[in-house]
Structure 1
Amino acid sequence: MSHVVTQTTTVESPIEFGRQLLTLEQVVAVAKGAKVKLCDDADYQEYIQKGARFIDSLLHEEGVVYGVTTGYGDSCTVNVSLDLVHELPLHLSRFHGCGLGEVLSVMQARAVMACRLNSLAIGKSGVTYELLKRIQTLLNLNIVPVIPEEGSVGASGDLTPLSYLAAVLVGEREVIYQGERRATKEVYHELNITPHVLRPKEGLALMNGTAVMTALACLAFDRAQYLARLASRITAMASLTLKGNSNHFDDILFAAKPHPGQNQIATWIREDLNHHVHPRNSDRLQDRYSIRCAPHIIGVLQDALPFMRQFIETEVNSANDNPIVDAEGEHILHGGHFYGGHIAFAMDSLKNIVANIADLIDRQMALVMDPKFNNGLPANLSGSTGPRRAINHGFKAVQIGVSAWTAEALKHTMPASVFSRSTECHNQDKVSMGTIAARDCMRVLQLTEQVAAAALLAMTQGIDLRITQNELDEASLTPSLATTLAQVRADFEPLVEDRPLEAVLRQTVAKIQAGEWEVCR
């Protein structure tokens, strides 16, 4: 059985599992509601069933298989009699029902289900085809487990959060269905769904893996990739607001330091600025670093994305539970594929880069607010004039908020992976912390998107002030930048008289997270 084909899909067609490599984008698509289709070829079904039958044969021969005829973790020395073997998976799911904290969103939980389904569909976990079909059914009916986000150390995989998927499969705990949080058994009764009975190894196969951290990594990557483009657009807007020098983004200059991602960012900014029309708008020879070095800062993210994609997609397309079942060679292989080190490193790295972008935009915001540095604009970008100018404060409080959000993002950059703990009677004595790293990364992304939302509003106001002051001809703006300005203006009236901006900030953040700002070239 070889997984060598990378599939493509349309919005309308279901995403196939079982024979193809799954892309990061396809995990995101399932998270956002795409239907799924498990391969139903007879030879594929037989391939999956062969693993389950091999487990049965070992039971018949009274072989010793970790997690099948033994206890779990440090309890692997405890033998389980054959008359209790079939109860063992249910006990595994139940004693791990101790998750706390906020629950994953429906989108995040669907991504978890997609990652777990794909890993099991590789056929090295000893599960039945019926189990795979049941996960497909839940996804296509949009019956989503309620999964608390806290409780995993990232090895032996995401045991506690994934126990909530296992529990739902057997009809226990709670689900989100049609926007409501309900008891699983009630939803099953309403839809005439029979709870799945976990066979030997199936509880362990469902829970002993990296699906939660990997799912969050897919979603984080998708948001970060978009953020690189958005931060480039914001930088171009900041340069225009400050009457900056677009020669800082010249192609000849960047040919001398040819990091491809960095050069891509410089190109995007240069093209947004209509470089050949107004290359230098002020008397300042060199802009401050938050403008001049923006490609070097955002470019780190752009250049890191390929290796992060490799780490994440390899994990998505791996069998990452224990033990691995080689039915064809009749081997049970005990190892540590549940260890989430690659995801931990990718997420620790990504949150660092993203927080640096928050810090970059925070510095840009500080420049445009301060009349000592903004080349003739009013303090705090206030649009008020005349006697009322004294009582209006523009973006003063928003800039304070940006500073707060940035500080919190930077605080979360401490690597989670270096805080490994020895757990479970020192059986799990070195763990990845990959799920904590991924959750940190999601928080950093949220905070950075809030910073970006504030900047979109502020830079639009700044450019509008330049136009009002006859220092910038709107007709000279590039189509790409003009499109962004039009999108922001549709939601945001110029800030003349002080007013609460929370609602428009939240709306702008939501549009960033939905990818609605047209920043992709």
Structure 2
Amino acid sequence: MQHAEPTKNHSTISFDQSRLQIEDIVSIANKTASAALSPDPLFRAAITRGADFLDRLLAEDGTIYGVTTGYGDSCTVEIPPELIAELPHHLYTYHGCGLGEYFTPAQTRAVMAVRLASLCKGYSGVSVGLLEQITSLLKEDILPLIPSEGSVGASGDLTPLSYLAAVLCGEREVWRDGQHVPAAQALSEAGITPLRLRPKEGLAIMNGTAVMTALACLAYDRAEYLTKLTTRITAMASFALDGNAKHFDETLFSVKPHAGMQKVASWLRQDLQCEQTERNGKRLQDRYSIRCAPHVIGVLADALPFFRQSIENELNSANDNPIIDAEGEHVLHGGHFYGGHIAFAMDGMKNAVANLADLLDRQMALLVDSRYNHDLPSNLSGAVGPRAAINHGLKALQISASAWTAEALKLTMPASVFSRSTECHNQDKVSMGTIAARDCLRVLELTEQVVAALLITVRQGVWLRCRHTPAVMPEESLQQMMALLSADIPEIIEDRRLEPDLRLMLERIRHQNWTLYA
């Protein structure tokens, strides 16, 4: 994929037949990059060949699934020639039955960009005009209101993507400047003419994996950041607990060759004085939530390359049906709309991410308990003297973190094993990839809430450790992190409502405000 030079932190991503990365979709979703359809004449000619080939087949009375036949189990129903042009309209109309929360604007941009990427591969038989219409909607930030529930992940994300197809034609509703408005009104105000879909175009838009893949791109970005942030929190927790940094020794980790786990251990060595021998009185072995943290975080770190490969391969695929081979003049009927790879990646990711929440929850339980936190105050309260009796520090925060952790763990049941037979047993084995992706995003959300709680906790714990043992100072990287956290979170001396602090931490996490490890 060709990239223009960034201008004031904003770049343009040119869509053609070359390979996209997860980061391209995330940038478009977050509005730090714009989408543009490549002007390359060779690319546009390749797209046009597919549409022209379908036109020739129609003129020769060829039978084409979803063009001259009904859809799915109705593929044996022949469409009278005079009604063929109406068929795409019926497809997106009867699939307008989604429910649940609407996808956010960022998620919707990602969905649109992923569908555009697949159609640009040139195997869907669509026109350049359709690609331009999707690009125009992204440029004007006219975003279909897409209900999040109603897809089984094969034949692709039919129901949610019907909302994109409808909006391209000026129907249903959109996000426009943060408001819900009729699509026809938004298109008119932007000077965009509603499309009349060509015979295969409704199927090409809807019969694919764009929703689950878009959500997977966003999930990957968040999970990758959490591996680093959880590592930094672990280093701060180890320092606050007066832990044994030799647990992360380079020689020790060299004998277990998981690259991601070794990377996490190396990050911890950067943050802690691992080269020092145990001080007098230092414990020989810390509890597992500290000592085994690289082994827990490392599972996700080692899985991320596999997740990236699966997500990016799906992102860069033609995944509708049938596939139109204009060069060989073939219409190829298959099942590329099946989202099994995304389903597996999302089920695996949510498991690994929920384990981060569980790890941090265990670390917090040690930090607030005066039996295990090595001379820090109970519940990490900073109050001293008579007022210590009425102050409770982080007692309630630990309860909330435990609740968020439990909910995240509960959601780790794999969605992909719950295939259902649908659509008159035509779709008798389905991926559930979109449900898996939605579950993964919820697990990420809950884990980020645990992370927010732990950021408050380790900020308080490191401060109290330094107050208790002034001669012991954290490494420079932890000092810098403490300075950033301290700018947002005052020491907790008198009890206070922590929700505002938590919400600020969540904002920082989701905007990835802290630079963590090279």
The two structures have a TM-score, normalised by structure 1, of 0.97
> Structure 1 residues 160, 279: CA separation in 2 closer, same or farther (over 3 Å shift)?
farther
Alpha-carbon displacement from aligned partner over 1:67-120 (angstroms, at most 9, x marks no partner) = 001111101111111101011001111111111001111111000011000000
Aligned pairs for 1:433-512 (under 5 A) are: 433-471=432-470, 473=472, 476-512=473-509
- The one-letter code sitting in structure 2 at the alignment partner of 1:493 is P
> Structure 1 residues 300, 472: CA separation in 2 closer, same or farther (over 3 Å shift)?
farther
Alpha-carbon displacement from aligned partner over 1:23-67 (angstroms, at most 9, x marks no partner) = 111111111111112111222211101111111111111111110
- Equivalent residue for 2:28, pick from 15, 27, 30: 30
Match of 1:332 in 2: 331
> Structure 1 residues 214, 9: CA separation in 2 closer, same or farther (over 3 Å shift)?
farther
- The one-letter code sitting in structure 1 at the alignment partner of 2:159 is T
- The one-letter code sitting in structure 1 at the alignment partner of 2:268 is I
CA positional deviation for 1:182: 1.0
Does the 8 A contact of 1:484 with 1:518 survive in 2? no
Aligned pairs for 1:23-172 (under 5 A) are: 23-33=21-31, 34-172=33-171
Alpha-carbon displacement from aligned partner over 1:320-356 (angstroms, at most 9, x marks no partner) = 0000000111100000000000000000000000000
Q: d(CA) in 1 for partners of 2:5 and 2:257?
A: 34
Does the 8 A contact of 1:9 with 1:15 survive in 2? no
Q: d(CA) in 2 for partners of 1:9 and 1:411?
A: 44
Q: d(CA) in 1 for partners of 2:430 and 2:279?
A: 53
Aligned pairs for 1:301-340 (under 5 A) are: 301-340=300-339
Q: d(CA) in 1 for partners of 2:235 and 2:102?
A: 38
Alpha-carbon displacement from aligned partner over 1:166-187 (angstroms, at most 9, x marks no partner) = 0110001111111211111111
Match of 1:259 in 2: 258
CA positional deviation for 1:279: 5.4
Q: Counterpart of 1:418 in 2: which secondary structure?
A: coil
CA positional deviation for 1:261: 0.5
- The one-letter code sitting in structure 2 at the alignment partner of 1:499 is R
> Structure 1 residues 282, 79: CA separation in 2 closer, same or farther (over 3 Å shift)?
farther
Does the 8 A contact of 2:98 with 2:159 survive in 1? yes
Q: d(CA) in 2 for partners of 1:272 and 1:409?
A: 28
Q: Counterpart of 1:15 in 2: which secondary structure?
A: strand
Q: d(CA) in 2 for partners of 1:274 and 1:515?
A: 26
Aligned pairs for 1:268-347 (under 5 A) are: 268-276=267-275, 280=279, 282-347=281-346
Does the 8 A contact of 2:376 with 2:468 survive in 1? no
Does the 8 A contact of 2:238 with 2:290 survive in 1? yes
- The one-letter code sitting in structure 1 at the alignment partner of 2:248 is F
> Structure 1 residues 509, 169: CA separation in 2 closer, same or farther (over 3 Å shift)?
same
Aligned pairs for 1:398-413 (under 5 A) are: 398-413=397-412
Q: d(CA) in 2 for partners of 1:192 and 1:250?
A: 63
CA positional deviation for 1:472: 5.0
CA positional deviation for 1:274: 2.7
CA positional deviation for 1:278: 7.2
- The one-letter code sitting in structure 2 at the alignment partner of 1:25 is E
Give the unaligned 5+ runs of structure 2.
Answer: none
Q: d(CA) in 2 for partners of 1:472 and 1:194?
A: 70
The number of residue pairs the alignment matches comes to 515
Does the 8 A contact of 1:7 with 1:22 survive in 2? no
Q: Counterpart of 2:196 in 1: which secondary structure?
A: coil
Q: d(CA) in 2 for partners of 1:281 and 1:66?
A: 77
Does the 8 A contact of 2:119 with 2:131 survive in 1? yes
CA positional deviation for 1:143: 1.1
Q: d(CA) in 1 for partners of 2:124 and 2:331?
A: 10
Match of 1:219 in 2: 218
CA positional deviation for 1:307: 0.8
Does the 8 A contact of 1:245 with 1:281 survive in 2? no
Does the 8 A contact of 1:394 with 1:495 survive in 2? yes
Alpha-carbon displacement from aligned partner over 1:149-180 (angstroms, at most 9, x marks no partner) = 00000000000000111011000111111121
Does the 8 A contact of 2:267 with 2:517 survive in 1? no
> Structure 1 residues 39, 257: CA separation in 2 closer, same or farther (over 3 Å shift)?
same
Q: d(CA) in 1 for partners of 2:281 and 2:463?
A: 17
Aligned pairs for 1:366-381 (under 5 A) are: 366-381=365-380
Match of 1:13 in 2: 11
CA positional deviation for 1:463: 0.7
Q: d(CA) in 1 for partners of 2:328 and 2:176?
A: 42
- The one-letter code sitting in structure 2 at the alignment partner of 1:202 is E
- The one-letter code sitting in structure 2 at the alignment partner of 1:38 is L
Q: Counterpart of 1:35 in 2: which secondary structure?
A: strand
Larger CA deviation: 411-420 vs 55-64: 55-64
Q: d(CA) in 2 for partners of 1:86 and 1:146?
A: 25
Match of 1:177 in 2: 176
> Structure 1 residues 8, 186: CA separation in 2 closer, same or farther (over 3 Å shift)?
closer
Q: Counterpart of 1:236 in 2: which secondary structure?
A: helix
> Structure 1 residues 81, 281: CA separation in 2 closer, same or farther (over 3 Å shift)?
farther
Does the 8 A contact of 2:239 with 2:474 survive in 1? no
Q: d(CA) in 2 for partners of 1:280 and 1:210?
A: 56
Does the 8 A contact of 1:245 with 1:282 survive in 2? no
Give the unaligned 5+ runs of structure 1.
Answer: none
Q: d(CA) in 2 for partners of 1:29 and 1:126?
A: 28
Does the 8 A contact of 1:466 with 1:472 survive in 2? no
Does the 8 A contact of 1:244 with 1:280 survive in 2? no
RMSD (CA atoms): 1.3
- The one-letter code sitting in structure 2 at the alignment partner of 1:208 is N
> Structure 1 residues 281, 26: CA separation in 2 closer, same or farther (over 3 Å shift)?
farther
CA positional deviation for 1:12: 3.3
The two structures have a TM-score, normalised by structure 2, of 0.97
Q: d(CA) in 2 for partners of 1:489 and 1:436?
A: 39
Q: d(CA) in 2 for partners of 1:472 and 1:419?
A: 57
Q: Counterpart of 1:409 in 2: which secondary structure?
A: helix
Q: Counterpart of 1:16 in 2: which secondary structure?
A: strand
Q: Counterpart of 2:81 in 1: which secondary structure?
A: coil
> Structure 1 residues 171, 279: CA separation in 2 closer, same or farther (over 3 Å shift)?
farther
Match of 2:188 in 1: 189
Q: d(CA) in 1 for partners of 2:451 and 2:186?
A: 40
Alpha-carbon displacement from aligned partner over 1:391-410 (angstroms, at most 9, x marks no partner) = 11100110000000000000
Percent of paired sites with the same residue: 60
Q: Counterpart of 2:417 in 1: which secondary structure?
A: helix
Does the 8 A contact of 1:246 with 1:273 survive in 2? yes
Does the 8 A contact of 1:158 with 1:211 survive in 2? yes
The answer to whether residue 352 in structure 2 is matched with residue 353 in structure 1 is: yes
